[in-house]
Structure 1
């Protein structure tokens, strides 16, 4: 299989690219600089430019591009960067697929933020979108793939949960505090987190490259956990004792609007993956926590 990946240098993109190549697949990374070798292709999503020959030769396109929400404080100007980077990349690829290769599969990035903060509600792929800033971003992000879907391409919307990995992602931000016994919860600790290990994200995306599903898919582990239980699992795996809870107002003061992502309560059900027979390497939070800590 020949797979074109945008955002190939990110947390998920790096791991996915390596796994696909190890599996004997051909991977072309879209880069915003001059391409180096046959495994890269230059593009400019802001200008709507991508090599249509590269798209035409692909069996699948995986779009993971977009400015990081957690990398900088979400000022009003950076919020626009976050939104526009996702719209530009998705629109550019969706139009290229529609024009050059509507038989290609598009795995389109999205996130649990689509649902907003929903308290105790169980969230399936059929659940309505939320009304938060991140929910609006995700709705716009997914809608930008319409040209590919309208042209007949199979599009899978990857509503990905908190990704737990040995390096990068949600766990990396917490582990320094967890190892020192300085953290027990974010806010009240009662919010639900829908999570998944990086290894299972890669396996789920590869699974969807070969499935016949089109539409949204919750890329999460089978069981969501309370915030305090996620941190307790990481603490136990690290051999430490949970410490103090960080009040909501402290997170909002220090992190800014991005704190919404950390405090939102989302209890998602991976209905599509379960129905299609996907199996998880790390189905329980304890499994994932041990893998994250032992692999560092």
Structure 2
């Protein structure tokens, strides 16, 4: 296949693209920084500097849309909320325009989203059919998904990746947490009772490849079948780095530090990959301890 990828230098993209190349796909990455992208991804990838100079997507078989400003890096000021939305909505809208302008559009668009689509649902078991809470993360993801679905036609199917916490080396949530836990300063956040839907990077990449190769469409929870509570995750991460994990972070301190975005760590989703498993996908990493040992090790 000839595949166009946005967000190729991000956490998922950096692991996905080598797999695509191993499978002999031709990969073109959309980037704003050509030098950084070449340094990160190597010379076996083609590059587009943005989408503005391109008129259609003729010649491509698939588009994988992973671009977006990191959601947890800064406090959610009004300006930052706009940046989070624009980085997802505007680029995805431009992709949709290119799909519509193509005589032979790509047969599939696999587009990012997140479990934040559902908001904080507490103890509720979340499948793709669960009605969401109307929080900022839902508004962000719902509009993102709505735009992506505009590319759907009798010639193009759209898959939506409602992704949980991705466990991968050298980045993502573990890039922030592991150094703290190695110092023995890690522990549960708030009550520790909130659920954390996680997925190993290998299963994330394999799931995308599965959606690429199978005639599927709609939303998919990209999460392990076994979400855990935050306190269980903290204990497992402490075990993986051979340190105690008893330094609980009070909810009040987290809210003071993060503001409205504290919901990302004080809330959660007990999400299950119902549609992915029903389609026949098999996870490699079910056990959190084994997953963390593999990634942190």
TM-score, normalised via structure 1 length = 0.93
Report whether the alignment pairs 1:182 with 2:185.
yes
Q: CA deviation at 1:150?
A: 4.6
Residues 70-121 of structure 1: per-residue CA shift (max 9 Å, x gap): 2222211111010111110111111211221434200010000000000110
1:12 paired residue number: 12
Secondary structure of the corresponding residue to residue 234 of structure 2: helix
1:208 paired residue number: 211
2:24 paired residue number: 24
Report whether the alignment pairs 1:199 with 2:202.
yes
Task: Give the 5 Å matches for 1:1-296.
Answer: 1-33=1-33, 39-44=46-51, 49=52, 51-53=54-56, 55-100=57-102, 101-150=104-153, 152-294=155-297
Equivalenced residues, count: 289
Q: CA deviation at 1:50?
A: 5.3
Unaligned runs of 5+ in 1: none
Query: How has the CA–CA distance of structure 1 residues 50 and 258 changed in structure 2, closer, same or farther, with 3 Å as cutoff?
Result: farther
**Higher mean Cα deviation, 25-34 or 163-172?**
25-34
Unaligned runs of 5+ in 2: none
Q: CA deviation at 1:34?
A: 5.9
TM-score, normalised via structure 2 length = 0.92
8 Å Cα contact 1:98/1:151 also seen in 2 = no
Q: Within 2, Cα distance between the matches of 1:285 and 1:33?
A: 35
8 Å Cα contact 1:200/1:280 also seen in 2 = yes
RMSD: 1.7
Q: CA deviation at 1:151?
A: 6.2
Secondary structure of the corresponding residue to residue 292 of structure 1: helix
8 Å Cα contact 2:107/2:155 also seen in 1 = no
8 Å Cα contact 2:60/2:105 also seen in 1 = no
8 Å Cα contact 1:122/1:269 also seen in 2 = yes
8 Å Cα contact 2:60/2:106 also seen in 1 = no
Q: Within 2, Cα distance between the matches of 1:186 and 1:125?
A: 27
Secondary structure of the corresponding residue to residue 56 of structure 1: coil
Q: Within 2, Cα distance between the matches of 1:282 and 1:239?
A: 21
Q: Within 1, Cα distance between the matches of 2:17 and 2:133?
A: 32
8 Å Cα contact 1:105/1:153 also seen in 2 = yes
Secondary structure of the corresponding residue to residue 73 of structure 2: coil
8 Å Cα contact 1:50/1:93 also seen in 2 = no
Q: Within 1, Cα distance between the matches of 2:137 and 2:22?
A: 34
